[in-house]
Structure 1
Amino acid sequence: MATTDSTFRAFRIEERDGQYMRSVQSMPFAALENDEILVRVHYSSLNYKDALSASGNKGVTRHYPHTPGIDAVGVVEQSNSPTVAVGQQVIVTSYDLGMNTDGGFAEYIKVPAAWAVPLPEKMTMKEAMIYGTAGFTAGMSVARLVELVQPSDGKIVVSGATGGVGALSVAILSHLGYWVVAVTGKESEKAYLTGLGAKEILLRSEIENFDKKPLLKPLFAGAVDTVGGVILENIIKTTSPLGVVACCGNVASVKLELTIFPFILRGVTLAGIDSQNCPMAHRLKIWGNLADAWKPRHLADTANEITFEQLSEKIDLILEGKLKGRTVLKVAE
């Protein structure tokens, strides 16, 4: 049990002469935010946004020293809220966690009660962080797809398929019976993607070099795009009538050069995915599906578990685009 005179471990980022230094430190409990619930973190996970925060990206984190970690799961040790009980297992993702509020790369966090999602009965704490924000984003994307697209309607393409959102999208959609085409720039990862359930592998260079015409031959009934830019453009142009494209990333580019033809001649839906500000009722529904009907049989195969001491190395790899799947941080011993 936490006490005011004790300390806890946290992975801290400090700014020194324009450089951003990373280290595991002992922090006093007085340094935590003055908020409604105190959560002892059992697991967190590494996301691209965490790597940006750890590198001094002021668009993500304005002030330092700071503890990244936009995902956390653990047990409530103190609560000033009637809606969250001491001893309850909760997931905390999205909102401001790990951005300008100290995040899950620590043994304890203090957050508003409204940020806490009860851990579903059919989900372990580790599974919650194998999903994390990436899995929740994948879940939101799948939810938009299944509204209008059935497995019998045709192929679903997933871009950035070796990344966190992409890998989990491949696994979930395959589990639900969809024929998944995985897009990757890494030829060496074909076996990994096939293991997740992908039926076909499309190299990034192939989809980037599609014809420049405003509309192309329909290839896909739907898509989960995690990268943006020309890949998203070409996915939209090759989506079948009444198809759905869920868009949740911009690592390639924030710009789209398109006509409106895919939308007014084929009725294609471009669905934006914003996991950070998702309403709680929808959030609970998505987590419930991820815990049960949508849970891939080989969920654990999408993730690697690490310790505090390995975080800095993994942050460098994710920034270089060399990290595949999900990276889960084990916090509690």
Structure 2
Amino acid sequence: MFKGILITRGETGYLAQLQNIDDAMLAEGDVMVRVDWSTLNYKDSLAITGKSPVVRRFPMVPGIDFAGTVIESTHSAWKQGDCVILNGWGVGETHWGGLAEVARIKGEWLLPLPRTFTARQAMSIGTAGYTAMLCVLALEKHGIKPEDGEILVTGASGGVGSVAILLLAKLGYQVTASTGRVSEADYLSRLGASSIIPRNELSTQGKSLGKERWAGVIDTVGSHTLANACATTKYRGAVAACGLAGGMDFPSTVAPFILRGVTLYGIDSVMAPLSVRQEAWSRLERDLDIAKLDSIAWEIGLSEAISAASELLEGKVRGRVVVDVRR
């Protein structure tokens, strides 16, 4: 038996509960991991609260990422005692995830815990930080350099936004943070944002083309925010879109793309191939200021994750939520 959050759907409705789970219920896989740390992400919160149809199979243990130690393996790449991390691959949606003391998964989904990070630090980064790194890589590969101008980060006080600011600032970029919580201005400035703008400057219907301002954009919001970001990106600039907290719609026109040559990159962290994941985590080891990780991470126990999920969806949580599954 092990403790975990189990989501069920039946005659009594949709329910997420912390409970004891029999090992026999574990999902199929060739590696069993003792989970040491997990996280609470936006997608996990949707799964726990049932606010969106994230969970595709029932019952389900949520948690799209985790860090832990291999306790059993029949996969050639892993042996007992190996320290590993997992991000994405449908875990917490179609395959049992990391918000439990034990996980059984496919060995090809795992990466070794980067040597630079402890398991807790790796989860302070988590899927959100790994996604932020993928966005930064997209802007770099597009050819955007610090001297090209401002980089806009939307949803800046969230997990992806917080890590994106840390990365961009260390790499020498001038970062403008867009947030719905202007009370977090000091926090965003400490991360490295040089200026802060309120969310409402971007979150309502705008023009097809606006004044050119951004050399590049990392957008976690979608909807009008993404449309306005594209409309105000400089000629031949780039926008990396990785989130939909503001909605899945994209109320824009083709004007930014055919009149200014703006490129819109879709960033997928869930099914990214191994080589992409390895590059992202390698760059996180090199470019992330570990000393500042504690300032973006809020630690909770597994028993607190269900109540914290609602707070996260209500925008009351900043940065990353790290879950100690042992308490």
Q: TM-score range by the shorter chain?
A: over 0.9
CA distance in structure 1 between the aligned counterparts of 2:249 and 2:99, rounded to whole angstroms = 32
Aligned with residue 317 of structure 1, among 289, 311, 314 = 311
CA distance in 2, matches of 1:151, 1:195: 19
1:75-90 equivalences in 2 (<5 Å):
75-90=69-84
* Counterpart check, 1:21 vs 2:15: yes
Q: How many residues matched? A: 326
Give, in angstroms, the shift of residue 35 of structure 1: 1.3
Three-state SS of the structure 2 residue aligned to 1:245 is strand
Give 1:330 shift.
Answer: 0.8
Compare 314-323 and 277-286 and name the one that shifted more.
314-323
In the TM superposition, 1:50-89 aligns within 5 A as 50-56=44-50, 59-89=53-83
- The reply to whether residue 149 of structure 1 matches residue 144 of structure 2 is yes
Residue type at the aligned position of 2:171: L
Structure 1 residue 17, shift from structure 2 partner: 3.6
Q: What is the CA RMSD across the aligned residues, in angstroms?
A: 1.6
> Over residues 259-285 of structure 1, what are the superposed CA-to-partner deviations in whole Å (9 max), with x where a residue is unaligned?
322222222110000101101011111
Change (3 A) 1:17 1:58: farther
* Shift of residue 197, structure 1, vs aligned partner: 1.0
Look up the match of 1:3. Answer: none
Matches within 5 A, 1:158-177: 158-177=153-172
Give me the whole-angstrom Cα distance separating, in 2, the residues matched to 1:54 and 1:180: 33
Residue of structure 2 aligned with 1:123, choices 117, 132, 149: 117
CA contact (8 A) 2:49 2:310 kept: no
Identity %: 39
8 A contact 1:20–1:54 mirrored in 2 = no
Q: In the alignment, what sits opposite 1:305? A: 299
CA contact (8 A) 1:92 1:115 kept: yes
Give the aligned partner of residue 40 of structure 2: 46
What one-letter code is carried by the residue in structure 2 that aligns with 1:88?
D
Partner amino acid, structure 2, of 1:186: R
Contact 1:73 1:125 in 2 (8 A): yes
Residue 161 and residue 18 in structure 1: after superposition, are their counterparts in 2 closer, same or farther (change >3 A)?
farther
Distance (whole Å) between structure 1 residues aligned to residue 41 and residue 184 of structure 2: 20
- Amino acid paired to 1:278: A
Q: Is residue 215 from structure 1 mapped to residue 198 from structure 2 by the alignment? A: no
Partner of 1:187: 182
SS in structure 2 opposite 1:135?
helix
On the 8 A contact 2:144/2:216 being kept in 1, the answer is yes
How far apart, CA to CA, are the structure 1 residues paired with 2:290 and 2:97? 27
SS at match of 1:110: strand
CA distance in 1, matches of 2:185, 2:45: 26
**Which amino acid counterpart does residue 169 of structure 1 have in structure 2?**
A
Q: Does the aligned pair in 1 maintain the 2:152–2:214 contact within 8 Å? A: yes
Matched-pair contact (CA < 8 Å) for 2:207–2:228: no
DSSP-derived class of the 1:224 partner: strand
Is the 1:305–1:330 Cα contact (8 Å) retained in structure 2?
yes
Structure 1 residue 58, shift from structure 2 partner: 6.7
Tell me the secondary structure at the aligned position of residue 301 of structure 1. Answer: helix
Aligned counterpart in structure 1 of residue 29 of structure 2, from 35, 38, 44 = 35
1:236 and 1:313 map into 2 onto residues whose CA distance is 36
Contact 1:175–1:297 (8 Å) recurs in 2 = no
Match of 2:234 among 226, 231, 240: 240
The one-letter code of the counterpart of 1:318 is: L
- Cα gap change, 1:255 to 1:34, in 2 (>3 Å): closer
Say whether 1:260 aligns with 2:254: yes
Structure-2 residue corresponding to 1:4: none
Shift of 1:56: 3.1
Cα pair 1:171 1:296 within 8 Å, conserved: no
Amino acid at match of 2:287: A
Match of 1:178 in 2: 173
Give the drift of 1:317. Answer: 0.4
Question: Residues of 2 paired with 1:107 and 1:242: CA distance?
Answer: 48
Q: How high is the TM-score relative to the length of structure 1?
A: 0.93
Deviations 1:122-155 (A, max 9, x none): 1111111111111111110010011211111100
Measured at CA, do residues 78 and 209 of structure 1 come closer, stay the same or move farther in structure 2, by a change above 3 Å? closer
Q: Is the 8 A contact 1:45 1:328 kept in 2?
A: yes
Contact 2:302/2:326 (<8 A) preserved = no
Please say if 1:199 is aligned against 2:191: no
How far 1:295 moved relative to its partner? 3.9
